[in-house]
Amino acid sequence: MRSTTLPLLLDAVGDTPVVRLRNLTTAHEAELIVKLEGANPGGSLKDRPASHIIRHAERTGALRPGGTIIESSSGNFGIALAMYGASLGYRVIAVVDPKLTATNRALLQAYGAEIVVVDEQDDSGSYHKTRISLANRMHDEIAGSFRPDQCFNPLNSDAHLHSTAAELLDQAGPELSAVVCTVSTGGHLGGIARSVKRRAPHVRVIGVDVEGSTVFGGLAHAYLTPGMGLSWTPVNLDDLSLVDEVYKVTDDDAYRACRTLARTEGILAGVSTGAALTVALAAAMRTRAGRRVAVLASDRGERYLATAFNDEWLRANALTTECTVTGLRARAGRLAPHSTDPARDCANYLPELAEQLGSPTARATAEVSR
Ligand SMILES: Cc1ncc(COP(=O)(O)O)c(C=O)c1O
């Protein structure tokens, strides 16, 4: 037997499976297909930008042996960095907020990451801006530290352009008619939109935000769905003309759909997958048989056993426990787009923000252009 060189953990990212669903659509509608990003080693799609950004930082010398990685993340990106930090010998500090779940805290700690909690809300009522500015201040103070800066670093969408999108287009084949992605940093929607419009411009790109977040404008208020939302349009979504339609879904729709996916298709994924699935089902119901609508299952559902998959927790948070196919199809059938021309209707860029928060990526760009 010939011996082969096996990949390091950092290189074992991607090539995730795509499966077709059996029970949510009828024979007269498009097929729903799901890319299972939970199959990445850290359990989510965030392994891709984490691995890409770390590799780039090692190549450019921004991250040196024994260095410290500091990032604002209460979820999957922090967990991916903690995993790679453990493997590569970096100290990892995750700047989180009080919404951090007990499971994510335990996962970060399992990989040996340090946790710093921000408790001050920003002007939008969320914690993104206070978290990011604290991470930037810590980066200034800690020698040998590196900031992946997922909200402002274009390498985030670059990772998805070169891996997630390329894989999905090959796996979905010529029947692909639409791709549905949720949004927070805009990393995967931005990268996938760019790749799809280059390689298969007839494929519709659909973005999904949660009610209460203002990535695509609208009214800001508190929401529960983890992993989604931001209070501005991120730079990784710098060309909204590549996105054909955007939707806003409620917390209740997102939680119910992720539970329905588990019970009727046997796919245990997180709440953002439920949000994307509701919109993808609406698209599939409008599209003829023989075509395909793709959706990403962004992470594994085990992370949500104490929340989305716990009836008591749902009731305590005024969320519905019902999760049937009929209910999901009825809700999908009633969905209306927030916009069918997001570049015209929804841009909510805050061009000064990166510099105001002290983003190292913005600082480096300003220095180059000076
Ligand atoms: C589970 C989950 N879904 C969706 C997203 C949104 O992805 P992006 O940051 O690429 O917009 C995230 C981001 O953290 C996530 O963790």
Mean pLDDT of 51-78: 96
Which of the residues 46, 99, 129, 248 is marked catalytic?
A: 46
Q: Is the dihedral of CA 285, 290, 291, 294 positive or negative?
A: positive
- Give the pLDDT score at 3: 83
Could you list the beta-strand ranges (E) of the chain: 18-20, 31-36, 68-72, 91-96, 114-117, 145-146, 176-182, 204-210, 245-249, 292-297
pLDDT for position 370 = 52
Rounded to the nearest angstrom, the distance between the alpha carbon of 182 and the centre of ligand 1 is 7
With the most atoms of ligand 1 within 8 angstroms of its CB, the residue from 36, 126, 188, 206 to mutate is 188
Q: Do 98 and 303 touch, CB atoms closer than 8 A?
A: no
User: CA–CA separation, 76 vs 85, rounded Å?
Assistant: 14
Average pLDDT, the chain: 96
Question: DSSP 3-state assignment of 63?
Answer: coil
Q: Is 46 a catalytic residue?
A: yes
CATH architecture for residues 47-149: 3-Layer(aba) Sandwich (3.40)
Taking the centre of ligand 1 as the mean of its atom positions, its distance from the CA of residue 172, in whole angstroms, is: 21
Tell the burial category of 301 from Cβ atoms under 10 Å away from its Cβ (0-12, 13-18, 19+): buried
Q: What is the dihedral of CA 339, 342, 346, 352, to 10 degrees?
A: 160
**The ligand 1 atom nearest the CA atom of 160:** 10
Q: Please check the confidence at residue 369 and state whether its pLDDT lies above 60.
A: no
Give the mean model confidence (pLDDT) for residues 169-189: 98
77 pocket-lining for ligand 1 (C-beta < 6 Å): yes
Give yes or no for residue 184 CB within 6 A of ligand 1: yes
> Using an 8 Å Cβ cutoff, are 86 and 117 in contact?
no
Strand order in 245-249's β-sheet? 18-20, 31-36, 292-297, 176-182, 204-210, 245-249
Q: Whose CA is nearest to atom 9 of ligand 1?
A: 185
Give residue 368's pLDDT: 60
What type of residue sits at position 238? D
The DSSP code sequence of 183-238 is: -SSSHHHHHHHHHHHHH-TTSEEEEEEEBTB-TT-S-------TT---SS--GGG-
Domain boundaries in the chain?
Answer: 9-41+164-345, 47-149
Whether residue 36 has pLDDT greater than 80:
yes
| 70: helix, strand or coil | strand
Report the distance separating Cα 75 and Cα 122, nearest Å: 19
pLDDT computed for residue 110 by the predictor: 98
**If 0-12 CB within 10 Å is exposed, 13-18 middle and 19+ buried, where does residue 41 land?**
middle
Topology of domain 9-41+164-345, CATH: Rossmann fold (3.40.50)
Task: Give the mean pLDDT of 267-273.
Answer: 98
**Ligand 1 midpoint to CA 161 (Å):** 15
Looking at the predicted structure, is the pLDDT value of residue 171 above 80?
Answer: yes
pLDDT digits (tens, 9 = 90+) for 205-262: 999 999 999 999 999 999 999 999 999 999 999 999 999 999 999 999 999 999 999 9
Q: What angle do CA 258, 262, 268 make, to 5 degrees?
A: 85
Structure token digits, residue 49: 């930008």
**CA 369 to ligand 1 centroid distance, Å:** 30
